[in-house]
């Protein structure tokens, strides 16, 4: 093993020692290694707007915003990913927040903020608020409930609508007077510091969106720090997707879709002297969350293929220990972490991630118990294929080898594969990795031309994703053949009777083949009536020769987009 791998293992061993003393549990091997989570639940929602984790009762609350004219739901799951119940609302719901003691769950509705007793999951209060049509955000800070409201006539106006910050105390909701354009995002600061964070998304239309921190301990919010990030040339403006305060209140992490993860000093929101390493190339930042014990940070992203969508690492940017990396891809996992889609249990033993597919119509809840160690993986050498002459519509095998550091996996690893051709990208499913690391992907290419096979290992709880490997195959036309049998001699009066068979490999022809027939004799060459091949591939040619001596019959098929052409001949000596 080379030096780079030894140093990576040493760093992982150090991480193991750190985790052992901080309560981060060592996960048992998952039942299947195709996913990077201990448990994955497909969420019965088509939209997502908020996530809250109740460590006292071991529950996870997820809000489904839908639209302003629909009924809303709050999904309740346990720490094993099992659904407990659904809290149904007559109107759309959006933001969700927990009181500091986890005794009350607050849910934002169109015209009120609803409270639930988390022990019984029964409503224990409803606080009237200014009417909202854009999705009320909710946060709990300084012993109060903070929420937003905006009113528009059409949903598309919400992105730039004037939005107001409200405060709820003693059962009433009142405007604070703070307002700005767009769907303002809220997040609590450190528990002991009575801080509230507010951020303005890029979609607000503001040339230079802001981030602000408020003192939430008094009767009215007092802004203590604010920042806009664009330089004098207008570059570097904030593209906010999520924000989170560290447990000790000294830092604020921001998920910026353009800049990645920004780490700021909480006091004045200036750049912290140490920053986290950049997200992997091709990953767009979507979410960020500090563990409740202050030890770890989780950084979520949207990325393609085996590029990690989630990094879990020390909250101290000076700690050079490599992050734990997880990739999500496909119909069983989602393909990236949703904006504001990360939250920890208070003790840091579990990370909850909401992932989404595509533009966000399918969602999953992942329950992750980060392992004490995670090992590198890599594809060894190039992929190979057989048969060497690939043809459309015929089976093709793509073979390769995956290597991994650390102990042998408890369960067989899986690789995923896609074929990219002129007709787009085609998912080929998963292939099992054998004990020696070899795997075989089976396919049947459907088009003539270049087909590029991309094989990915997305990692699992104890193995980092491997860099994708690709292999391009030249796919040719499938061969076709014709056989033709006739008599050695015939007479002009008795005629000539020929029989033959037509075979086309690869993809089945959409219709029975029609064969062209030509006759060549001493008088010249002429075209006879074409013949249609029977279902069993046979055909016959009958002719009355026009002259004596040698007559040659040629039967041909021109081929099509997926098959080569074919031709054959038979010569008959014709007597009078």
Positive or negative torsion for Cα 113, 110, 187, 213 = negative
The residue written with tokens 């008599």 in the block is 487
Q: Is residue 29 predicted with pLDDT exceeding 60?
A: no
CATH 1.10.150.120 fits 480-575, yes or no: no
Please state, in angstroms and rounded to a whole number, the distance separating the CA atoms of residues 525 and 519: 6
Q: Is residue 287 predicted with pLDDT exceeding 90?
A: yes
What does residue 519 show for φ and ψ, rounded to 5 degrees?
-125, 130
Per-residue tokens: 126? 């409803």
Taking the mean position of all CA atoms in its chain, how far away is CA 509? 37
In this predicted structure, what is the pLDDT of residue 460? Answer: 85
Please state, in angstroms and rounded to a whole number, the distance separating the CA atoms of residues 532 and 514: 4
Residue 259 — left, alpha, or beta (φ > 0 → left; ψ -120 to 50 → alpha)? alpha
CA distances from 233 to 199, 207, 236, 430 (A): 22, 11, 9, 48
pLDDT band at 440 (very low <50, low <70, confident <90, very high): very high
Q: Report the chain's terminal Cα–Cα distance, integer Å.
A: 85
- Which range of 2-11, 165-174, 456-465 scores highest in mean pLDDT? It is 456-465
SS3 content of the chain, % helix, strand, coil (to 5): 5, 50, 45
Residue 219 near residue 201 (C-beta atoms within 8 A): no
Query: What is the helix (H) or strand (E) element at residue 18, kind and residue range?
Result: helix 3-20
Count of beta carbons in the 10 Å neighbourhood of residue 441: 23
Q: How many CA atoms lie within 13 A of 399 on its CB side?
A: 10
In this predicted structure, what is the pLDDT of residue 111? Answer: 87
Q: What CATH number belongs to 377-475?
A: 2.60.40.10
Per-residue tokens: 138? 């909710």
Residue 387 DSSP symbol = S
pLDDT band at 66 (very low <50, low <70, confident <90, very high): low
Count of beta carbons in the 10 Å neighbourhood of residue 495: 12
Q: Is residue 7 predicted with pLDDT exceeding 50?
A: no
For the chain, residues classed under CATH 2.130.10.10 are 3-368
In this predicted structure, what is the pLDDT of residue 5? Answer: 30
Please state, in angstroms and rounded to a whole number, the distance separating the CA atoms of residues 265 and 247: 13
Count of beta carbons in the 10 Å neighbourhood of residue 429: 12
Q: How many CA atoms lie within 13 A of 16 on its CB side?
A: 11
Rounded to an integer, the average pLDDT of 521-529 is 95
Residue 242 near residue 255 (C-beta atoms within 8 A): yes
pTM of the model: 0.75
pLDDT band at 90 (very low <50, low <70, confident <90, very high): confident
Q: Return the bridge partners of 128, or none.
A: 112
In this predicted structure, what is the pLDDT of residue 155? Answer: 82
Query: What is the helix (H) or strand (E) element at residue 365, kind and residue range?
Result: strand 362-368
Please state, in angstroms and rounded to a whole number, the distance separating the CA atoms of residues 414 and 430: 6
Q: Is residue 93 predicted with pLDDT exceeding 50?
A: yes
pLDDT in tens, 534-543: 999 999 999 9
pLDDT in tens, 223-258: 999 999 999 888 999 999 999 999 999 999 999 999
Q: Is residue 560 predicted with pLDDT exceeding 90?
A: yes
Nearest to residue 36, comparing CAs of 422, 404, 327, 239?
327
The number of residues making up the chain comes to: 576
Nearest to residue 502, comparing CAs of 488, 515, 489, 518?
515
Residue 60 near residue 52 (C-beta atoms within 8 A): yes
Q: Return the bridge partners of 519, or none.
A: 526, 553
For the chain, residues classed under CATH 2.60.40.10 are 377-475, 480-575
- CATH T-level fold of 3-368: Methylamine Dehydrogenase; Chain H (2.130.10)
State how beta strands 162-169 and 144-149 pair: antiparallel
Residue 328 near residue 416 (C-beta atoms within 8 A): no
In this predicted structure, what is the pLDDT of residue 490? Answer: 95
Residue 135 near residue 95 (C-beta atoms within 8 A): yes
Residue 476 DSSP symbol = B
* Average per-residue pLDDT for the chain: 89
Per-residue tokens: 485? 């049998």
């Amino acid at each position: 093993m080379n030096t780079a791998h030894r140093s990576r293992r040493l760093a992982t061993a150090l991480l193991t020692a750190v985790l052992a003393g901080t309560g981060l549990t060592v996960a048992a091997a998952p039942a299947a290694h195709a996913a990077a989570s201990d448990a994955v639940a497909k969420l019965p929602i088509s939209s997502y707007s908020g996530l809250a984790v109740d460590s006292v009762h071991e529950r996870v609350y997820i809000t489904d915003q839908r639209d302003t004219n629909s009924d809303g739901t709050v999904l309740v799951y346990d720490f094993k990913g099992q659904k407990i119940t659904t809290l149904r609302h007559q109107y759309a719901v959006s933001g969700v927040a927990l009181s500091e003691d986890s005794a009350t769950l607050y849910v934002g509705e169109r015209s009120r903020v609803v409270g639930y007793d988390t022990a019984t999951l029964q409503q224990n209060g409803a606080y009237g608020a200014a009417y909202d049509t854009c999705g009320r955000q909710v946060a709990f800070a300084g012993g109060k409930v903070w929420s937003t409201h905006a009113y528009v006539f059409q949903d598309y106006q919400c992105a730039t609508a004037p939005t107001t910050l409200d405060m709820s105390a003693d059962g009433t909701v009142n405007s604070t007077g703070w307002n700005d354009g767009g769907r303002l995002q809220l997040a609590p600061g450190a528990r002991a510091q009575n801080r509230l964070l507010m951020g303005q998304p890029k979609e607000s239309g503001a040339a230079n969106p802001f981030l602000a921190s408020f003192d939430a301990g008094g009767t009215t919010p007092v802004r203590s720090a604010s920042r806009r990030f664009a330089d004098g040339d207008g570059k570097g403006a904030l593209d906010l997707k999520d924000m989170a305060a560290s447990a000790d209140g000294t830092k604020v992490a921001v998920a910026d879709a353009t800049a990645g993860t920004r780490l700021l000093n909480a006091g004045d929101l200036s750049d912290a002297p140490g920053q986290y390493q950049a997200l992997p190339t091709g990953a767009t930042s979507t979410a960020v969350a500090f563990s409740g014990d202050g030890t770890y940070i989780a950084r979520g992203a949207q990325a393609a293929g085996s590029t990690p969508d989630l990094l879990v690492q020390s909250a101290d940017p000076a700690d050079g220990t490599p992050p734990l990396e997880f990739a999500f891809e496909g119909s069983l996992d989602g393909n990236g972490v949703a904006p504001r889609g990360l939250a920890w249990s208070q003790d840091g033993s579990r990370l909850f991630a909401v992932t989404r597919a595509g533009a966000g119509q399918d969602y999953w809840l992942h329950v992750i118990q980060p392992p004490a160690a995670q090992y590198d993986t890599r594809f060894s050498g190039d992929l190979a294929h057989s048969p060497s002459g690939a043809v459309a519509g015929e089976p093709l095998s793509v073979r390769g080898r995956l290597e991994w550091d650390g102990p042998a996996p408890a369960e067989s690893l899986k690789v995923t594969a896609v074929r990219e051709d002129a007709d787009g990208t085609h998912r080929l499913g998963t292939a099992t990795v054998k004990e020696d690391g070899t795997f075989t992907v089976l396919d049947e290419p459907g088009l003539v031309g270049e087909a590029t096979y991309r094989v990915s290992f997305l990692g699992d709880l104890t193995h980092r994703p491997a860099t994708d490997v690709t292999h391009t195959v030249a796919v040719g036309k499938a061969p076709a053949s014709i056989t033709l049998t006739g008599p050695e001699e015939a007479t002009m009066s008795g005629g000539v009777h020929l029989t033959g068979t037509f075979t086309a490999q690869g993809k089945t022809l959409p219709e029975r083949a029609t064969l062209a027939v030509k006759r060549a004799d001493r008088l010249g060459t002429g075209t006879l009536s074409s013949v249609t091949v029977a279902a069993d591939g046979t055909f016959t040619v009958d002719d009355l020769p026009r002259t004596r001596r040698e007559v040659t019959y040629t039967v041909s098929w021109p081929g099509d987009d997926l098959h080569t052409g074919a031709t054959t001949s038979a010569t008959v000596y014709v007597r009078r």
